[in-house]
Amino acid sequence: MEQISFLPTFASWQVAARRALQNEIRPDQIAWEELGEDQPPLHLFEEAEPETAAKPASQFRVPKRFLALAKLISLHRDASRWPLLYRLLWRLTHGETHLLEITVDPDIAQAHDFEKAIRRDIHKMRAFVRFREIEHAGEKWFVAWFEPAHHIVEQNASFFADRFASMRWSILTPDRSVHWDRKTLTFTAGVPRSEAPAADQMEELWRTYYANIFNPARVKVHAMQAEMPKKYWKNLPEATLIPSLLHEAPQRIETMMKKSAAKIAQADGDEWYPAPTPKTSSLTTLRGAARGCTACPLYRNATQTVFGEGPKHAKMMFLGEQPGDQEDLSGKPFIGPAGQLLDRALKDAGIDRNSVYVTNTVKHFKWEPRGKRRIHQKPSSRDIAACRPWFEAELQVVRPAILVCLGSTAAQALFGSSFRVTKERGKLLESELAPRVVTTVHPSALLRQPDEEARVREYAHFVQDLGVALRAAER
Ligand code: URA
């Protein structure tokens, strides 16, 4: 038996695993030992073997998808993730090149369970981190305490940096802490719970806010507990309000019904928060829950939430920007002019619209009045961040073989604001959220072409991009 000691990070495991592979050490011959940060890697396997004995690293080609999956799984807290990853790596490089497609394989099933748990934890952190305001060196600083189930702090940090870009903040956790000074993310060691700030002004504010946005008509105790497990309640200031809010719910519903919708909308402050998606594998349940979403102010001027549509196990998912005027009125995505053009292009690319899942990054129509018309407005990064949990939930349920981002809003929601569709369109890409992604222009861009020649050329290019996605989905 070989003992391989390594720091429990993906990078460190990767070095050790590559070396073990080069030396043809079978998975059942290895005992993986995680080193603490203070332990010297005395038995680090990579130092034990001379370089010359090894096969060249290039011999061990694995699908990119495996790398993305392995990186994610390495964040799991279970120590068995390391031998699992090595077994997968071994099998992929020893003849089982299609292993990742065999979902019934016990190692793959285990890997997917780990992946799911991590994605859920990432989502929980996004939904349940609550900042409290403190004074720090004469500046306002916002501090949150969170106890993630897995090692997801670094993975999640850029989400918080995007969402709370203008604040200075720290998120403290027992494993790792992350800090944002409005420019740079830094990471420090974890802290004991006692160092998290006590109740303060920010907490009071949050409680008031939560009481204001609490919609008694939507209270379902079981759903609420499933979404907000008791484990998280102790860190959520609003949790102390839940029993009394539930108690007052029937009366509050009656009062609400007496008020006009417009007045209720005015009474709420302009607040954005991540949409609270229920934990479910049912699209119908998700769609129902999204109907009452008030996570950002867009619901006030929209007719309804326009949720995604299509078969639950569609191989292809299409992600647009946000519903337009006709979609807002009908409640269905992509049925207006852009939708009709999309339908035509799908057909020309050999894709049946009824077999694909179509949704939007933002699920309410954002518009401003111009005369009698409602003019489309681009969603802000806050609108997108607030709505994101719905799209993530759709992705987790549908698990498409390929995600097609239509236009820059969708593509940037996946790859960040520096992503350029014009540069990357038609390429098969990987992302944290979806293993295979193709980006292309939004069909409405085709409608805006200046002349017939440009329209024909751009349409053909669009159909060609859809063809790339179709072939990837069929692979
Ligand atoms: N544009 C989009 O991005 N989505 C729709 O549903 C309609 C138009």
Q: What DSSP line would sit under 215-279, residue for residue?
A: -GGG--HHHHHHHS-HHHHTT-GGGGGHHHHHHHHHHHHHHHHHS-HHHHHHHS-----------
CA of 134 to the centre of ligand 1 (A): 42
Atom of ligand 1 nearest to the CA of 443: 1
Atom of ligand 1 nearest to the CA of 321: 3
Based on the fold, state whether residues 433 and 293 are members of the same structural domain: yes
pLDDT digits (tens, 9 = 90+) for 351-388: 999 999 999 999 999 998 888 789 999 998 888 988 99
Number of domains in the chain: 4
Based on the fold, state whether residues 378 and 264 are members of the same structural domain: no
Domain end position, chosen among 195, 212, 235: 195
CA of 360 to the centre of ligand 1 (A): 7
Domain at 339, CATH number: 3.40.470.10
The lowest-confidence range among 11-15, 236-240, 278-282, 461-465 is 236-240
Nearest to 210 by CA among 120, 130, 141, 121: 130
Based on the fold, state whether residues 225 and 322 are members of the same structural domain: no
Mean pLDDT of 165-180: 85
Asked whether residue 272 carries a pLDDT value surpassing 90, the answer given is: no
Based on the fold, state whether residues 137 and 97 are members of the same structural domain: no
Neighbour order of strands in the sheet with 428-429: 357-360, 316-320, 402-406, 437-440, 428-429
CA of 68 to the centre of ligand 1 (A): 29
Atom of ligand 1 nearest to the CA of 333: 6
Based on the fold, state whether residues 215 and 281 are members of the same structural domain: no
Residue 122 and residue 76 in contact, taking contact as beta carbons nearer than 8 Å? no
Based on the fold, state whether residues 436 and 312 are members of the same structural domain: yes
For residue 162, the model assigns a pLDDT of: 85
Cβ < 6 A, ligand 1 pocket: 320-324, 327, 333-334, 336, 338-339, 360, 444
Based on the fold, state whether residues 239 and 150 are members of the same structural domain: no
pLDDT category of residue 43 using cuts at 50, 70 and 90: very low
Average of per-residue pLDDT values in the chain: 82
Based on the fold, state whether residues 280 and 257 are members of the same structural domain: no
Asked whether residue 55 carries a pLDDT value surpassing 70, the answer given is: no
Asked whether residue 57 carries a pLDDT value surpassing 90, the answer given is: no
Based on the fold, state whether residues 417 and 441 are members of the same structural domain: yes
Based on the fold, state whether residues 264 and 287 are members of the same structural domain: no
Q: Two tokens at 386?
A: 């607030």
CA of 158 to the centre of ligand 1 (A): 27
Domain end position, chosen among 76, 94, 124: 124
How far is it between the farthest Cα atoms of the chain? 80
CA of 475 to the centre of ligand 1 (A): 28
Domain end position, chosen among 195, 221, 237: 195
Pocket test for ligand 1, best of 298, 325, 327, 329 (most atoms within 8 A of CB): 327
Based on the fold, state whether residues 470 and 438 are members of the same structural domain: yes
pLDDT category of residue 8 using cuts at 50, 70 and 90: confident
Asked whether residue 137 carries a pLDDT value surpassing 80, the answer given is: no
Atom of ligand 1 nearest to the CA of 407: 3
At residue 162's C-alpha, the angle toward residues 113 and 328, to 5°, is: 80
Pocket test for ligand 1, best of 304, 334, 358, 462 (most atoms within 8 A of CB): 334
Model-level pTM?
0.49
Atom of ligand 1 nearest to the CA of 406: 3
pLDDT digits (tens, 9 = 90+) for 77-98: 999 999 999 999 999 999 998 9
Q: Which domain holds residue 258?
A: 202-268
Asked whether residue 218 carries a pLDDT value surpassing 60, the answer given is: no
Based on the fold, state whether residues 381 and 459 are members of the same structural domain: yes
